[in-house]
Amino acid sequence: MTGAGVVLLTTFLASSVEAIEMVIVVLGVGATRGWRSTVLGAAAGFAVLAVIVAVLGVALGSIPIGPLRVVVGALLLLFGLQWYRKGIARVAARGLAGMSEPGVQDDDVPASGIDWVAFVLSFKGVLLEGLEIALIVVSFGLAAGQLGLSVVGAAAAVVVIGAAGFALKGFVTRIPRSLLQLIVGTLLTSFGTFWSLEGLGVSWPQSDLDIVGLLVVYGLAAAAYIGLERRRIHQARLEMA
Protein backbone atom coordinates (compact mmCIF):
# COMPACT_ATOMS: atom_id res chain seq x y z
CA MET A 1 0.00 0.00 0.00
CA THR A 2 1.28 3.44 -0.94
CA GLY A 3 1.96 5.83 1.98
CA ALA A 4 -0.73 8.30 3.05
CA GLY A 5 1.56 11.29 2.54
CA VAL A 6 2.36 10.25 -1.04
CA VAL A 7 -1.35 9.75 -1.87
CA LEU A 8 -2.28 13.15 -0.35
CA LEU A 9 0.58 15.00 -2.06
CA THR A 10 0.04 13.44 -5.50
CA THR A 11 -3.74 13.96 -5.58
CA PHE A 12 -3.35 17.48 -4.10
CA LEU A 13 -0.85 18.47 -6.82
CA ALA A 14 -2.78 16.74 -9.63
CA SER A 15 -6.00 18.45 -8.58
CA SER A 16 -4.21 21.81 -8.22
CA VAL A 17 -3.31 21.75 -11.95
CA GLU A 18 -6.98 21.58 -12.96
CA ALA A 19 -8.20 23.67 -9.99
CA ILE A 20 -6.09 26.62 -11.19
CA GLU A 21 -7.98 26.67 -14.50
CA MET A 22 -11.29 26.05 -12.72
CA VAL A 23 -10.78 28.93 -10.26
CA ILE A 24 -9.60 31.31 -13.01
CA VAL A 25 -12.79 30.61 -15.00
CA VAL A 26 -15.12 30.98 -11.99
CA LEU A 27 -13.38 34.16 -10.72
CA GLY A 28 -13.42 35.67 -14.22
CA VAL A 29 -17.13 34.94 -14.72
CA GLY A 30 -18.05 36.10 -11.19
CA ALA A 31 -16.12 39.36 -11.44
CA THR A 32 -17.67 40.31 -14.79
CA ARG A 33 -21.24 38.93 -14.57
CA GLY A 34 -21.98 38.82 -10.82
CA TRP A 35 -21.48 36.22 -8.13
CA ARG A 36 -24.92 34.72 -7.36
CA SER A 37 -25.44 32.77 -10.61
CA THR A 38 -21.70 32.02 -10.88
CA VAL A 39 -21.62 30.40 -7.43
CA LEU A 40 -24.83 28.47 -8.19
CA GLY A 41 -23.29 27.17 -11.44
CA ALA A 42 -20.08 26.15 -9.65
CA ALA A 43 -22.07 24.40 -6.88
CA ALA A 44 -24.09 22.47 -9.50
CA GLY A 45 -20.82 21.45 -11.20
CA PHE A 46 -19.38 20.16 -7.90
CA ALA A 47 -22.60 18.23 -7.17
CA VAL A 48 -22.35 16.42 -10.54
CA LEU A 49 -18.66 15.71 -9.87
CA ALA A 50 -19.48 14.20 -6.44
CA VAL A 51 -21.96 11.82 -8.09
CA ILE A 52 -19.36 10.84 -10.75
CA VAL A 53 -16.70 10.12 -8.06
CA ALA A 54 -19.19 7.99 -6.07
CA VAL A 55 -20.35 5.99 -9.12
CA LEU A 56 -16.79 5.47 -10.43
CA GLY A 57 -15.56 4.53 -6.94
CA VAL A 58 -18.23 1.84 -6.56
CA ALA A 59 -17.78 0.53 -10.14
CA LEU A 60 -13.97 0.33 -10.07
CA GLY A 61 -13.91 -0.72 -6.39
CA SER A 62 -15.63 -3.99 -7.26
CA ILE A 63 -12.66 -5.11 -9.44
CA PRO A 64 -9.99 -7.26 -7.64
CA ILE A 65 -6.75 -5.37 -6.87
CA GLY A 66 -4.55 -7.31 -9.40
CA PRO A 67 -6.54 -6.59 -12.59
CA LEU A 68 -7.48 -3.16 -11.17
CA ARG A 69 -3.80 -2.18 -10.96
CA VAL A 70 -3.21 -3.21 -14.59
CA VAL A 71 -6.20 -1.20 -15.84
CA VAL A 72 -5.73 1.80 -13.54
CA GLY A 73 -1.93 1.73 -13.88
CA ALA A 74 -2.19 1.75 -17.69
CA LEU A 75 -4.75 4.58 -17.48
CA LEU A 76 -2.49 6.66 -15.20
CA LEU A 77 0.56 5.87 -17.35
CA LEU A 78 -1.12 7.02 -20.58
CA PHE A 79 -2.71 10.10 -18.99
CA GLY A 80 0.42 10.93 -16.99
CA LEU A 81 2.57 10.74 -20.13
CA GLN A 82 0.34 13.35 -21.81
CA TRP A 83 0.88 15.84 -18.95
CA TYR A 84 4.58 14.85 -18.83
CA ARG A 85 5.02 15.66 -22.55
CA LYS A 86 2.88 18.84 -22.43
CA GLY A 87 4.72 19.97 -19.28
CA ILE A 88 8.12 19.51 -20.98
CA ALA A 89 7.00 21.42 -24.09
CA ARG A 90 5.39 24.26 -22.11
CA VAL A 91 8.19 24.68 -19.56
CA ALA A 92 10.69 24.72 -22.44
CA ALA A 93 8.66 27.32 -24.36
CA ARG A 94 7.28 29.54 -21.58
CA GLY A 95 9.36 28.82 -18.48
CA LEU A 96 7.45 29.47 -15.25
CA ALA A 97 4.70 31.69 -16.73
CA GLY A 98 1.18 31.35 -15.30
CA MET A 99 -2.17 31.32 -17.10
CA SER A 100 -4.05 34.26 -18.62
CA GLU A 101 -7.62 35.07 -17.57
CA PRO A 102 -10.46 34.25 -20.02
CA GLY A 103 -12.27 37.11 -21.73
CA VAL A 104 -15.88 37.22 -20.47
CA GLN A 105 -18.41 39.75 -21.81
CA ASP A 106 -20.43 41.64 -19.17
CA ASP A 107 -23.15 43.13 -21.40
CA ASP A 108 -26.82 41.98 -21.13
CA VAL A 109 -26.48 40.82 -17.47
CA PRO A 110 -30.08 40.49 -16.15
CA ALA A 111 -30.97 42.81 -13.26
CA SER A 112 -32.77 40.06 -11.32
CA GLY A 113 -33.19 36.26 -11.42
CA ILE A 114 -30.64 33.74 -12.66
CA ASP A 115 -28.00 34.90 -15.15
CA TRP A 116 -27.87 31.69 -17.23
CA VAL A 117 -24.74 32.76 -19.10
CA ALA A 118 -22.82 33.04 -15.80
CA PHE A 119 -24.42 29.80 -14.51
CA VAL A 120 -23.50 27.76 -17.61
CA LEU A 121 -19.96 29.20 -17.92
CA SER A 122 -19.25 28.50 -14.25
CA PHE A 123 -20.92 25.04 -14.36
CA LYS A 124 -18.94 24.03 -17.47
CA GLY A 125 -15.70 25.40 -16.01
CA VAL A 126 -16.06 23.32 -12.84
CA LEU A 127 -17.37 20.18 -14.56
CA LEU A 128 -14.93 20.03 -17.48
CA GLU A 129 -11.83 20.77 -15.39
CA GLY A 130 -13.14 18.61 -12.55
CA LEU A 131 -13.78 15.51 -14.67
CA GLU A 132 -10.07 14.88 -15.09
CA ILE A 133 -9.58 15.43 -11.34
CA ALA A 134 -12.37 12.91 -10.62
CA LEU A 135 -10.82 10.22 -12.85
CA ILE A 136 -7.31 10.74 -11.43
CA VAL A 137 -8.53 10.79 -7.83
CA VAL A 138 -10.64 7.63 -8.12
CA SER A 139 -8.07 5.62 -10.10
CA PHE A 140 -5.07 6.74 -8.01
CA GLY A 141 -6.95 6.31 -4.72
CA LEU A 142 -8.20 2.80 -5.54
CA ALA A 143 -4.82 1.58 -6.86
CA ALA A 144 -3.14 2.93 -3.69
CA GLY A 145 -5.89 1.42 -1.53
CA GLN A 146 -6.70 4.87 -0.06
CA LEU A 147 -9.67 6.35 -1.93
CA GLY A 148 -10.79 8.46 1.07
CA LEU A 149 -7.40 10.17 1.39
CA SER A 150 -7.29 10.69 -2.35
CA VAL A 151 -10.63 12.56 -2.26
CA VAL A 152 -9.38 14.63 0.72
CA GLY A 153 -6.25 15.61 -1.24
CA ALA A 154 -8.34 16.72 -4.24
CA ALA A 155 -10.88 18.63 -2.14
CA ALA A 156 -8.05 20.37 -0.23
CA ALA A 157 -6.50 21.51 -3.53
CA VAL A 158 -9.78 23.02 -4.76
CA VAL A 159 -10.36 24.76 -1.39
CA VAL A 160 -6.78 26.11 -1.11
CA ILE A 161 -6.56 27.32 -4.73
CA GLY A 162 -10.11 28.72 -4.53
CA ALA A 163 -9.47 30.56 -1.24
CA ALA A 164 -6.15 31.94 -2.52
CA GLY A 165 -7.87 33.06 -5.71
CA PHE A 166 -10.56 34.98 -3.78
CA ALA A 167 -8.17 36.44 -1.19
CA LEU A 168 -5.25 37.44 -3.40
CA LYS A 169 -6.18 39.13 -6.67
CA GLY A 170 -4.14 37.80 -9.58
CA PHE A 171 -2.40 35.14 -7.44
CA VAL A 172 -3.82 32.11 -9.26
CA THR A 173 -2.76 33.37 -12.69
CA ARG A 174 0.84 33.61 -11.45
CA ILE A 175 1.10 29.96 -10.29
CA PRO A 176 3.52 28.21 -12.70
CA ARG A 177 0.91 25.74 -13.97
CA SER A 178 3.17 24.23 -16.66
CA LEU A 179 5.81 23.27 -14.08
CA LEU A 180 3.10 21.85 -11.81
CA GLN A 181 1.73 19.88 -14.77
CA LEU A 182 5.21 18.48 -15.46
CA ILE A 183 5.72 17.46 -11.81
CA VAL A 184 2.31 15.75 -11.66
CA GLY A 185 2.88 14.15 -15.08
CA THR A 186 6.14 12.69 -13.76
CA LEU A 187 4.40 11.41 -10.59
CA LEU A 188 1.44 9.84 -12.46
CA THR A 189 3.71 8.29 -15.12
CA SER A 190 5.94 6.78 -12.41
CA PHE A 191 3.06 5.35 -10.34
CA GLY A 192 1.24 4.24 -13.51
CA THR A 193 4.35 2.38 -14.72
CA PHE A 194 4.89 0.76 -11.31
CA TRP A 195 1.28 -0.36 -10.73
CA SER A 196 0.55 -1.56 -14.28
CA LEU A 197 3.70 -3.71 -14.37
CA GLU A 198 3.15 -4.99 -10.82
CA GLY A 199 -0.39 -5.96 -11.84
CA LEU A 200 1.07 -7.89 -14.81
CA GLY A 201 3.23 -9.91 -12.39
CA VAL A 202 6.55 -8.05 -12.75
CA SER A 203 8.66 -8.31 -9.58
CA TRP A 204 10.48 -5.01 -9.11
CA PRO A 205 14.15 -5.46 -8.06
CA GLN A 206 13.88 -3.12 -5.01
CA SER A 207 10.10 -3.40 -4.47
CA ASP A 208 8.38 -0.07 -3.56
CA LEU A 209 11.75 1.75 -3.59
CA ASP A 210 11.70 1.41 -7.38
CA ILE A 211 8.96 4.09 -7.53
CA VAL A 212 11.65 6.57 -6.41
CA GLY A 213 13.95 5.17 -9.09
CA LEU A 214 11.24 5.69 -11.74
CA LEU A 215 10.68 9.28 -10.50
CA VAL A 216 14.40 10.01 -10.83
CA VAL A 217 14.68 8.44 -14.32
CA TYR A 218 11.58 10.21 -15.68
CA GLY A 219 12.68 13.47 -13.99
CA LEU A 220 16.16 13.33 -15.54
CA ALA A 221 14.68 12.52 -18.96
CA ALA A 222 12.33 15.52 -18.64
CA ALA A 223 15.26 17.82 -17.75
CA ALA A 224 17.19 16.55 -20.77
CA TYR A 225 14.21 17.04 -23.11
CA ILE A 226 13.60 20.58 -21.77
CA GLY A 227 17.23 21.42 -22.55
CA LEU A 228 16.92 20.02 -26.08
CA GLU A 229 13.56 21.78 -26.69
CA ARG A 230 14.94 25.14 -25.46
CA ARG A 231 17.91 24.82 -27.80
CA ARG A 232 15.63 23.94 -30.73
CA ILE A 233 13.26 26.88 -29.97
CA HIS A 234 16.20 29.28 -29.65
CA GLN A 235 17.68 28.15 -32.98
CA ALA A 236 14.30 28.35 -34.73
CA ARG A 237 13.76 31.92 -33.47
CA LEU A 238 17.24 32.94 -34.62
CA GLU A 239 16.48 31.58 -38.09
CA MET A 240 13.16 33.49 -38.19
CA ALA A 241 14.66 36.80 -37.02
Partner 1 sequence: MRMVVAAAIGIARFIYRFIVGDDWTVALVLLLALAATGVLVTHGISAWWLVPLLAIVMTGISLRRSALHDPPRPTSGTN
Residues interacting with partner 1, by CB under 8 A?
A: 70, 74-75, 77-79, 81-82, 84-85, 88-89, 93, 131-132, 135, 189, 193, 196-197, 200-205, 210, 214, 217-218, 221, 225, 229, 232-233, 236-237, 240-241
Shortest spacing between CB 217 and partner 1, in angstroms: 6
- Minimum distance between the CB of residue 77 and partner 1, rounded to whole angstroms? 6
* CA distance linking residue 222 with residue 88, whole number of Å: 6
Q: Identify which of residues 2 and 32 has a Cβ nearer to partner 1 in the complex.
A: 2
- Judge whether 169 and 77 are in contact, CB under 8 Å: no
- What's the min distance (Å) between Cβ of 73 and partner 1? 9
Of 77 and 126, the one with the shorter C-beta distance to partner 1 is 77
Whose Cβ is closer to partner 1: residue 78's or residue 163's? 78
Q: Which of residues 38 and 196 has its CB atom nearest to partner 1 in the complex? A: 196
Q: Residue 239 gets which letter from DSSP? A: H
Q: How far is the CB of 152 from partner 1 (least distance, A)?
A: 23
Q: How far is the CB of 171 from partner 1 (least distance, A)?
A: 24
CB of 167 to partner 1, least distance (A): 31
Beta strands in the chain (DSSP E): none
Residue 137 or 214 with smaller CB distance to partner 1: 214
Tell me how many degrees the CA angle 195-129-85 measures, rounded to the nearest 5: 50
Minimum CB distance to partner 1, residue 188 (Å): 12
Nearest to 237 by CA among 97, 115, 92: 92
Residue number, 101 or 132, with CB nearest to partner 1: 132
Tell me whether residue 110 or residue 227 sits nearer to partner 1 (CB atom).
227
3-state secondary structure 132-159: HHHHHHHHHHHHHCCHHHHHHHHHHHHH
Long-range pairs for 28-35: beta carbons < 8 A, 24 or more residues apart: 28/101, 28/102, 28/104, 29/104, 29/118, 29/121, 29/122, 29/125, 30/118, 30/122, 32/104, 32/105, 32/106, 33/104, 33/106, 33/109, 33/115, 33/117, 33/118, 33/121, 34/109, 34/115, 34/118
Cα separation, 129 vs 18, whole angstroms: 5
